[in-house]
Amino acid sequence: MTEWRALLRRVRHATRRTPDAEDLMQEAFLRMQEYAREHTVEHPAAFVVRTARNLSIDAARQAKSRGEVVVTTPAPEEAMDHRALQDEVYAARIRLDRVRAALAELSPRTRMVFLMHRIEGLKYREIAAALEISISAVEKQIAKAVVHLAELADEP
């Protein structure tokens, strides 16, 4: 179902968010099935979006030739602004500054081990091999960093 919605969003965008985007998408699916009888469709989603866009263009041309006015409106879910509010951005920046300060308080070795694991995504054994330390030492360094950052989270 989420793939259907994602494809419908793409079709709405490609057809300038026309209210009949779902109808255009269904017609495009039918045309793809017809085309697929004799040809290979390597990228079905792209085929549907492009076909729906072409159908939309054809419909607009026909409406224009008949003297009709075509009005397009965005779908309600696309009209919403999903960007973060200013106070959320400000709060996130404050949290980020606190995390940076907490990381700066760690010893260089602990900070390096923690960042190698959390940022670079390395496994404990990879970190141990790279720094020539034991896996146990890596575990202790990461635990120390996590405890320090958890204490930060408890602060007001």
Per-residue pLDDT of 5-63, as tens digits, reads 787 788 887 777 667 888 888 888 888 898 888 988 888 888 888 888 888 888 778 87
| End-to-end Cα distance, the chain | 42
In this structure, of 20-34, 96-110, 133-147, the range with the lowest mean pLDDT score is 20-34
Q: Answer for the pair 17, 78: CB distance below 8 angstroms, yes or no.
A: yes
Distance CA 46, CA 95 (A): 41
Burial of 11 (0-12, 13-18, 19+ CB in 10 A): buried
Write out the two tokens for 1: 């179902």
pLDDT at 31: 87
Distance CA 110, CA 116 (A): 10
Other Cβ atoms less than 10 A from the Cβ of 62: the count is: 11
**Given a cut of 60, is residue 109 above it in pLDDT?**
yes
The whole model's pTM is what? 0.45
**Mean pLDDT of the chain, nearest integer:** 82
Write out the two tokens for 133: 């330390």
Write out the two tokens for 38: 């004799």
Write out the two tokens for 60: 């607009």
Burial of 12 (0-12, 13-18, 19+ CB in 10 A): buried
**Given a cut of 60, is residue 70 above it in pLDDT?**
no
DSSP state of 42: S
Domains of the chain as residue ranges with CATH: 2-79 (no CATH), 86-154 (1.10.10.10)
- Identify which has the larger pLDDT, 124 or 65: 124
